[in-house]
Amino acid sequence: MHNVRARLCLVLTVGSLLAACGSSDKTPIVEPNIPPTAFKQEILDTLRRTLDDPTNVHDAFLSDPVLTPVGSDHRYTSCVRYNPRDLNRTYLGNKERIAYFFGGHLNQLVEADKGQCATAAYKPFPELEKLCYANKCN
């Protein structure tokens, strides 16, 4: 009985060691602060999915991504301001969102707290005002 336990222990130990050698922890390390290049399209895609009525948005503005302190880190952020419609096609008033980027891609698009976008250098965002449901809307 003692010999069977010893062999079982040996087999389990060797198996564990082989499994450890066979599995590599090659999870790619992502550089969090890669400047986003497709930020406009990623924001448009997100708003198309999340707005009640993504058509006929008015007063759309966007700031270029800038490296901003976020907690104890720095991340690229961009601010978006627009006047969307609800399901009854009634305009809701200006909304302000902040986009957080990680590894060069949009990670979150959330409602901005007061002051988060106070210093944003907004530019017109006509692509959002032309947004529609179909892929080709002309």
25-66 pLDDT, tens per residue? 678 888 999 999 999 999 999 999 999 999 999 999 999 999
Provide mean pLDDT across the span 8-12. Answer: 47
Task: With cut-offs at 50, 70 and 90, classify the pLDDT of residue 134.
Answer: low
Structure confidence at residue 28 (pLDDT): 83
Structure confidence at residue 12 (pLDDT): 46
- Better-predicted residue by pLDDT, 47 or 135: 47
Structure confidence at residue 109 (pLDDT): 97
- Better-predicted residue by pLDDT, 127 or 11: 127
pLDDT tens, 79-118? 999 999 999 999 999 999 999 999 999 999 999 998 999 9
Distance CA 9, CA 122 (A): 66
Cβ contacts of 65-68, under 8 Å, gap ≥ 24: 65/35, 65/36, 65/39, 65/99, 65/101, 67/33
Contact 56/133 with Cβ under 8 angstroms?
Answer: no
Structure pTM? Answer: 0.76
Q: What does the block give as tokens for 127?
A: 């692509």
Q: Where are the domains of the chain?
A: 39-129
- Better-predicted residue by pLDDT, 8 or 65: 65
- Better-predicted residue by pLDDT, 137 or 84: 84
Element (H, E) at 7: helix 2-22
